[in-house]
């Protein structure tokens, strides 16, 4: 049996969705196939996103920015949007059972010194981590109850 796919969407697929993908993949283990994409992909993963994830032991350096159209012909069990624009632009995917929207500030808009920008990335990472680790724990509890 194949693992259900959770697709995390944001507009640019450069920061928030990659933070969430890395965290959910680590928290869910082999329970879910976790992917991310964007409605208007930036074409890169933000270097500060890679850096703050490495600080917590999660390597997203190999991630790439993808368009959500890459997933339209795949069975997606759960769609999670992490920004308002992606929530509004989100299509219905084949086999989609669950849909969640948890909006987070876009750290790519952070201003100030490099250290100030890094602090914003860390704050958003930690917010995403709390939500997605709780989500993974809930999914694990559901499986145990079955």
Total of domains in the chain = 1
Q: Which residues have CB under 8 Å from 99's CB, separation 6+?
A: 78, 79, 80, 81, 90
What pLDDT, on the 0 to 100 scale, is given for residue 64?
A: 96
Range of the domain at 26: 5-145
Task: Check if 83 is active-site.
Answer: yes
Alpha-carbon distances, residue 141 vs 2, 25, 43 (angstroms)? 19, 16, 36
What pLDDT, on the 0 to 100 scale, is given for residue 77?
A: 92
Q: Which of 9, 10, 49, 120 is catalytic?
A: 10
Task: Check if 15 is active-site.
Answer: no
Per-residue pLDDT of the chain (146 residues; tens, 9 = 90+): 689 999 999 999 999 999 999 999 999 999 999 999 999 999 999 999 999 999 999 999 999 999 999 998 888 999 999 987 765 666 667 677 888 999 999 999 999 999 999 999 999 999 999 999 999 999 999 888 87
What pLDDT, on the 0 to 100 scale, is given for residue 142?
A: 87
Tokens, residue 104? 């987070």
What pLDDT, on the 0 to 100 scale, is given for residue 1?
A: 63
The model carries a pTM of 0.93
CATH number, domain of 88, equals 3.40.50.2300
Q: 7-44 b/e with 16+ CB inside 10 Å = b?
A: bbbbbbbbbbbbbbbbbbbbbbeebbbbbbbbbebeee
């Amino acid at each position: 049996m194949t693992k259900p796919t959770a697709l995390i969407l944001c507009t640019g697929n450069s920061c928030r969705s990659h933070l969430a993908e890395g965290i959910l993949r680590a928290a869910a283990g082999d329970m879910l196939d976790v992917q991310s994409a964007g409605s208007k992909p930036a074409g890169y993963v933000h270097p500060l996103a890679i850096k703050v994830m490495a600080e917590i032991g999660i390597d997203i350096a190999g991630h790439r920015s993808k368009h959500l159209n890459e997933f339209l012909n795949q069975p997606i069990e759960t769609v999670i949007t992490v920004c308002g624009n992606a929530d509004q632009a989100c299509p219905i995917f084949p086999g989609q059972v669950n849909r969640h929207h948890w909006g987070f500030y876009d750290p790519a808009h952070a201003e100030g010194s490099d250290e100030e920008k890094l602090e914003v990335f860390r704050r958003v990472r930690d917010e995403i981590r709390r939500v997605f680790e709780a989500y993974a724990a809930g999914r694990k509890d559901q499986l145990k109850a079955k």
